[in-house]
Structure 1
Amino acid sequence: MIQRNFVVVLAIFLVMPGCSMRDDGIISDLEATLRSRLGDEMTIRSVLKSPIAGLYEVDLGDRIIYSDATGDRLLVGEIFDSKNRSNLTESRFSEINKIDFSALPFSDALKVVRGNGSRKLAVFSDPNCPYCKQLEAELESIDNVTIYTFLYPVLSPDSVEKSRAIWCSPDRTQAWGDWMLDHRKPTTTNICKTDVIERNIALGHSLNVKGTPTVFLSDGRRLPGALSIEKLEQQLVVAVAAKKAE
């Protein structure tokens, strides 16, 4: 994989204009060069100018890397706007990987409503993922929200068994909370259809969900990893504003 071949660099730069303009001549040559050199190791979805002059954004689907105009040097890392203290790579990745939130199969998810439930988010979570448990604890502090949790057991066979037991519990959301927050293992003897687990895994793959937890906001943006309550609240405000502006 490319992580083993290149030094991971954390780049901190000021924003420069022209991040969305396409220079067809340079970009088409660069894309051809990278496809030839990377081969089947990576799938290149697009190549565009980045916010840094002379640096190009390479969308690999599950992440963004950067290249110079020749393709000889690759940067594996993130671009930060030091003036606004924002992660430009993270924002860009979220933007180009937007989904249609309303099209998610919510009947295949656990549902929790707090307060008026006006703000909505979906979480793909594995029951054996420590970062998912960390996120679950943070979500306890958020009010006026509807949370759809898609059981996404991708870490181990035990994750699948726990997910099935939780789904077949008389109170699924309670069983989920008992396990994720209090480490009380689901012990239900109920037998039910658990094909929802396979559907969720297929759904996650189709949405390019590479890790857990992955959060989707109502405006379609994704937020990978365990998030702090402060960042969650901030992004929920942005998502609500974006939906109102549509």
Structure 2
Amino acid sequence: MLRRIFFPLLLATSACALAAEPVDGQHNQTAPMPINGMIAAVKNGKMAFVSDNGRFVFRGSMYDTWAQKEITTLEEAEQASKYIDLQKIKFNIEDLVPFTVGSGSKTVVVFTDPLCPSCANLISDLKKVDGYSFKIVEVPALGDESAKIVRSLLCAKDKNAAFDIATGKEKPKVIDQRGNDCDTSPIGKRIISAQMFGVKGVPFMIRNDGLIKHGYEKGTLSNWLMGAN
């Protein structure tokens, strides 16, 4: 189940919501792009990039600066929409001050909200998996109460209590926090990162090989992780 994110920064329309033209055969094909409001399309063997309302068409190729390659086929466009190589873009997850579960060599980034039930299911499952380090990034996805809890976990006087809430050992709540000396900039960085990665709802995961996953159904984590390169 995917819980919608309500803060305005992450309410952009999905790039694959509307096709530019109806797909009526092998000569007309489309693929989502990791850009809000755009899809990749092939018609009669010609590649183009199309606005989701069909009005604007950009012909030719597109360069993916993250993957450091040109996108010239639907397969490449689809790959770009499904993978984010955090190592290649030199993204330092520690800048977001995540909570870490596990100590394995394979890192999985998890965007969650403390009040999200499907996020709670995911966190319950990930604690049962060995060989991974799960970086739990709390974002204020579900409104004001979430925002208060996320801030209190970042600025908690008792870091153990904050960890217990973030990892599901305790129910989500606002806890005692430090005063004005607390640096809350990591929360802003989390929101900007979520927007950059195309997070439309929580939970959202980035696997160790870069594959992304929107939403979560309880009990499916191990199989999803096993598919990594």
TM bracket, shorter-chain basis: 0.5 to 0.7
Q: Alpha carbons of 1:160 and 1:57: their partners in 2 closer, same or farther (altered >3 Å)?
A: same
Deviation at 1:66, TM superposition (A): 10
Is residue 199 from structure 1 mapped to residue 172 from structure 2 by the alignment? no
Which residue of the partner structure matches residue 30 of structure 2?
Answer: 57
Tell whether 2:211 aligns with 1:214: no
How far 1:122 sits from its partner (Å)? 0.3
TM-superposition CA deviations, 1:171-193 (whole Å, max 9, x none): 54642432662315241131311
1:233 to 213, 218, 222: 222
* 1:127–1:180 CA contact under 8 A, matched in 2: no
d(CA) in 1 for partners of 2:80 and 2:148? 34
Alpha-carbon spacing, 1:94–1:165, altered in 2? closer, same or farther (3 Å): farther
Which of the numbers 183, 200, 225 marks the counterpart of 2:171? 183
Deviation at 1:206, TM superposition (A): 0.9
Is 1:144 paired with 2:134? no
Kept in 1, the 8 Å contact 2:114–2:146? The answer is yes
Structure 1 counterpart SS, 2:99? strand
Match of 1:59, as an amino acid? Answer: P
> Closer, same or farther in 2 for the Cα pair 1:65/1:202, shift >3 Å?
closer
| Match in the other structure for 2:111 | 124
Please say if 1:100 is aligned against 2:85: yes
Q: How does 1:29-108 map to 2 (within 5 A)?
A: 53=26, 56-59=29-32, 61=34, 96-102=81-87, 103-107=90-94, 108=96
C-alpha distance in 1, partners of 2:14/2:116? 26
Q: Which has the higher contact order (CA 8 A, sep 6+)?
A: 2
Judged with a 3 Å threshold, the aligned counterparts in structure 2 of structure 1 residues 43 and 234 are, in CA distance, closer, same or farther, namely closer
Q: CA deviation at 1:123?
A: 0.5
1:91-112 deviation per Cα after TM superposition (whole angstroms, max 9, x unaligned): x967533212233332213232
Aligned length: 175
Q: Distance in 1 between matches of 2:141 and 2:172?
A: 20
1:96-149 CA distances to partner (integer Å, 9 max, x unpaired)? 3321223333221323242x5122200111122221112111112112220111
Q: Deviations 1:2-31 (Å, cap 9, x if unpaired)?
A: xxxxxxxxxxxxxxxxxxxxxxxxxxxxxx
How far residue 155 of structure 1 moved from its aligned partner, in angstroms, is 1.9
Partner SS for 1:138: helix
Query: What 5-or-longer segments of structure 1 have no aligned partner?
Result: 1-40, 71-91
Partner of 2:68: none
SS at match of 1:127: coil
TM-score, normalization: structure 1? 0.58
Instruction: Return closer, same or farther for 1:93/1:224 CA change in 2, 3 Å cut-off.
Output: farther
Q: How far off its partner does 1:215 sit? A: 0.4
State whether residues 33 and 81 of structure 2, in contact with CA within 8 Å, keep that contact through their aligned partners in structure 1. no
Paired residue type of 1:99: I
The code of the aligned residue for 2:98 comes to L
Which structure's residues are more often helix, by fraction?
A: 1
Contact 2:113 2:119 in 1 (8 A): yes
Which amino acid in the other structure matches residue 111 of structure 2? F
Alpha-carbon RMSD: 3.6
Identity %: 22
